Structure 1
Amino acid sequence: MEIRQLYYFIAIAEKRTFTEAASALHISQPSLSTAIKKLENELGLTLLDRSNREVQLTKEGEIFYQKAKKLIDHFEHVTDEMKRLRENGPMELSLGMIESAKYWVPKVLSLFKAEHNDVRIQLMDILSLTDVEKALNNFEIHAAITNQYIDNEEIEAIPIYEERLVALLPGNHPLKNASSLVIEDLNEEPFIICKEGFQTRIDILNAFKKSGVKPNIQFEVERFEISCRLVEEGMGATILPENYVKFDRQASFHVKTLEDPNLSRMVYLAFNKNSYLPPLVLRFMSLVNAFFNGKVNAL
């Protein structure tokens, strides 16, 4: 099987006639017909139903079309990467990340840059599940640091660490001196939560549900930074990842541990299994794993 045959078959599947496909491919119709028949003979499958004026895909043809598209996408991605490398020099590392990773990602990148000083690095906020899947499947990024649980056969998500969720209270809150809280303590509080589409929202609402408490949601936001500022202004309470707030020494809110085993989240390093990952990307991923396994220290 040749790449050329895959391009031919995809053209027929999308144009639905040999005439239009041949025209788009700039080859003769007999040559195209011969190439497709040869492909079917090699596979031992009938891929096209030629009984109608418009060509229809058989069940086997539909499966082959989906697989061929993925192969061509991957092939073109690799080709583009090699062309860019030849024309623009050192490769880039493109990374999507959640907000709470901002405190440790620079530490790993300092190790990475010590080894690959001439590599350009792109860091992008990619927060929701839809955005993570889209960015990975469209090859917009090499990898994503995400807390989203990804159920996608094209994406592999490697757990790297678990982090607790903590409560944030305004500076003048009656419970500001409490050593810790339980979900029930937030029962009547005006509550600030991330909008739909975020795994953290699901985790928080599940914890409320298991405690038999309905949150008094007053604000739905996209970024943790907005949540923090609303809490500082006394607009309500919220629950955020501990790693996001524990290094903020200038904040005027109170951070409280929540005595609830359900309030934690897993953070993953995700990548597209069908994507070509250059050696430098694999090296970054190995440094992340080493960092959280205690094998390196960038502090």
Structure 2
Amino acid sequence: MKIIQLEYFVAVVKYNNFTKAANFLHISQPSLTATIKKLENELGYELFIRTTKDIKITEKGIQFYNYAEELIQTYHQTVEKMHDLNTSQEPKIKLSILESSNQWVSQVIAAHHKHHMNQTYLVSEIHDQNKILEQLLNFENHIAFTNEQITHEAIESIPLYEESYVLIAPKDTFPKTKALSIQSLPLILPTQGSQVRKHLDDYFKRMNIHPEIIMEVDRFEAATNFVHRRLGYAVIPRVYYQSFNARDLDAIDIRPQIGRTIYINYLKKRKHSERVLSLIEHCISYWNIKE
């Protein structure tokens, strides 16, 4: 079985028509039909039921389609990675970051890049702790930032800095107020399942606070936009308040205080290049200097 056979099969499923799929693939319709028939013979079962009017995918064909899609995607991702190795002497450094860390991480990468001008980077934003761990263990990322420590024997998880959460509000909404309770305020909070929301829910439970949640959003950027529109007040990490989107708002300390620790994580058993190790050191040094 070859990847090209899977790609032909997927095209027939997507177009639900042999002629249209053949035109898309730039091959003859008889050649496509023969390829699918050969694939069915190799598998030992039919993928399609053919009539004079149309074709219908079988139940086994549906299951095979799901596997075929995954295999094709994996194949092309692998080819792309091999191409990266061929066109660059230095493979990409891959990082997963938190939304709140965008600003300082960009400064660190800029400083790192000055010393390694031909280095390229792939930066993704991931907040699911399980996915972060999985990608580190599967060698998909070199470095990952989390707002909770990863407790796994294969992972080095180093605390970088601590920060408090703050309430953001339109300018002069609470004049001369340095700290306040969020007990009865209309709040814009992260959606359920995120680590930040978990921190806040634990805080509400400990403090016996019953929050008035008027909106839930996926990103701090969206939350601050809605605060600008005076739809409510958002709780965000203090470091994110440095971002362009939040700088025209007031940041007010929450009473009692709530905070978190940001960690840098990497796989112990992986043979990291000197450049990856240098970037890790840049991240650690950035916060040592700050403190």
Structure 1 residue runs of 5 or longer lacking an equivalent are 1-79
Q: Show the counterpart of 1:37.
A: none
Partner residue, 2:187: 191
- CA distance in structure 2 between the aligned counterparts of 1:249 and 1:198, rounded to whole angstroms: 21
- Report the CA distance shift for 1:150/1:195 in structure 2 as closer, same or farther (over 3 A): farther
Looking at structure 2, the residues matched to 148 and 125 of structure 1 have their Cα atoms a distance apart, in angstroms, of 15
Are 1:112 and 2:107 counterparts? no
Residue of structure 2 equivalent to 1:177:
175
> Which residue among 229, 248, 255 is the counterpart of 2:225?
229
CA distance in 2, matches of 1:214, 1:155: 37
**Residue matched to 1:204:** 200
Matched, 1:213 2:188: no
Is the contact between residue 187 and residue 213 of structure 1 (CA under 8 Å) also seen in structure 2? Answer: yes
1:276 aligns with 2:271: yes
CA drift of 1:171 comes to 4.7
> Following TM superposition, by how much is the alpha carbon of 1:286 offset from its aligned partner in structure 2, in angstroms?
0.9
Distance, in Å, in 1 between the alignment partners of 2:114 and 2:249 is 37
Give distance in 2, aligned partners of 1:249 and 1:190: 20
Distance 1:90 1:158 in 2: 26
Instruction: Give the whole-Å Cα distance in 2 for the aligned partners of 1:229 and 1:247.
Output: 12
1:1-299 equivalences in 2 (<5 Å): 85=85, 88-171=88-171, 173=173, 176-183=174-181, 186-248=182-244, 251-261=247-257, 263-294=258-289
Residues 171 and 253 of structure 1 are in contact (CA less than 8 Å); yes or no, is this contact kept in structure 2?
yes
The answer (yes or no) to whether the contact 2:224–2:245 under 8 Å persists in 1 is no
Identity of aligned residues (%): 25
Are residues 250 and 137 of structure 1, via their aligned partners in 2, closer, same or farther at CA, if it must alter by over 3 Å? closer
Equivalent-residue separation in structure 1 for 2:168 and 2:246 (angstroms)? 14
8 Å CA contact 2:158–2:264 kept in 1: the answer is: yes
How far apart are 1:169 and its partner, in Å?
Answer: 2.0
Q: CA deviation at 1:147?
A: 1.0
Contact 2:188 2:213 in 1 (8 A): yes
Shift of 1:84: 5.7
Residue type of the partner of 2:205?
K
C-alpha distance in 1, partners of 2:287/2:246? Answer: 27
Rate the CA distance shift 1:119–1:161 in 2: closer, same or farther, 3 A: same
Matched AA of 2:123: L
1:288 maps to a residue whose letter is: C
- SS of corresponding position for 2:289: coil
> What do residues 203-255 of structure 1 show as CA deviations (whole Å, max 9, x unaligned)?
22222222221112222221110111111112211210111013437755321
CA distance in structure 1 between the partners assigned to 2:246 and 2:209 by the alignment: 32
> By how many angstroms is 1:87 displaced?
5.6
Write the distance in 2 (CA, Å) between the matches of 1:272 and 1:286.
Answer: 15
Matches of 1:107 and 1:87 in 2, distance apart? 26
**AA matched with 2:275:** L
- Give the drift of 1:151: 2.8
State the Cα deviation string for residues 72-125 of structure 1 (Å, max 9, x = none).
xxxxxxxx9899645642221111101111121122112211111101111111
Cα distance in 1 for residues equivalent to 2:226 and 2:86: 49
CA distance in 2, matches of 1:163, 1:120: 30
Take 1:98 and 1:295, find their aligned partners in 2: how far apart are those partners? Answer: 19
Contact 1:170 1:236 in 2 (8 A): no
Kindly tell me: are residues 249 and 287 of structure 1, through their superposed partners in 2, closer, same or farther at Cα, counting changes over 3 Å? Answer: same
Structure 2 residue matching 1:294: 3-state secondary structure: helix
In structure 2, what is the Cα distance between the partners aligned to 1:150 and 1:124?
18
Change (3 A) 1:161 1:251: closer
Q: Secondary structure at the match of 1:293?
A: helix
CA contact (8 A) 2:97 2:126 kept: yes
Aligned residues between the structures: 212
